[in-house]
Amino acid sequence: MNTDRTLDLTGYDAVLFDLDGVLTPTAEVHMHAWQRLFDELFAAWGITPPYTDRDYFEHVDGKKRYDGVAAVLRSRSVEVPWGEPADPPTADTVCGIGNRKNATFARILRDEGIAPYPGSLRLLDVLRDAGTPIAVVSSSKNADEVLRTAGLRGRFEVVVDGVLAEHEHLASKPAPDMFLAAARMLGVDPARAAAVEDALSGVRSAAAGGFALVVGVDRGVGAEALTAAGAHVVVADLGDLVEASARGL
């Protein structure tokens, strides 16, 4: 593999980015909100073993919210009714529990705000200057609010998020549907585009979609796990790609 050529993202027809943990450190906020939710739920329902970060990476990270709730409960052999998206946060349904988590996340986001990773912002600047089309592909229904809070919304004409996925009946990551939908909206062939992800489910999604380059960003999952999931290249921060991409201008 020609590393310099591979890491020059301006050489691809488009670059599709996950949001949480890739462009913004909202993954940490999500992790805290999920931990608080399941700590309280497991204690109230007598569920064991306790919820841990491993559960987040294996069952929640990168997936649509309700799918994450169902996966965690299923891992403990617990089944509850799916319910409806309009269920109140107090409802003991998959949707109600997911809405409970979202209320916690939204409160933290409003109170504390969010800023993009500096390295990610530098890479977005390079791609903008090169005229490389970009998109956000996020399972989160909060993607639009996060992008606006971080001052990034105006950079992306194409945003495929949890709201659109639900409306268009797109399968959750690790299925390739969301990435493929974003590629179609940009008018590019995945075989000539790059995808950037930090979640195992997201990496598997992009790999299944046949993207020419899948970049894994290691925010705690581990380089080996990201590579095993299908990442061609793993970096600790997107700032690591700035120099190679800037040389392609």
What is the Cα gyration radius of the chain?
18
- Catalytic residue check, 39: no
DSSP-assigned states of every residue in 113-149: -----HHHHHHHHHHHHHT--EEEE-S-TTHHHHHHH
Task: Tell me the CA distances in angstroms from 105 to 117, 141, 197, one per residue in order.
Answer: 19, 11, 21
Contact 231, 215 (CB under 8 A): yes
Annotated catalytic residue within 8, 18, 161, 218:
18
Reported as half-sphere exposure (CB side, CA atoms, 13 A), residue 178 has a value of 34
Handedness of CA 38, 54, 222, 211 (dihedral sign): negative
Which residues sit opposite 195 in a β-bridge? 16, 214
Q: How many CB atoms lie within 10 A of CB 243?
A: 13
Annotated catalytic residue within 20, 67, 198, 218:
20
- Catalytic residue check, 53: no
**CA-closest candidate to residue 53, choices 75, 35, 36, 71:** 35
Catalytic residues, by residue number, are: 18, 20
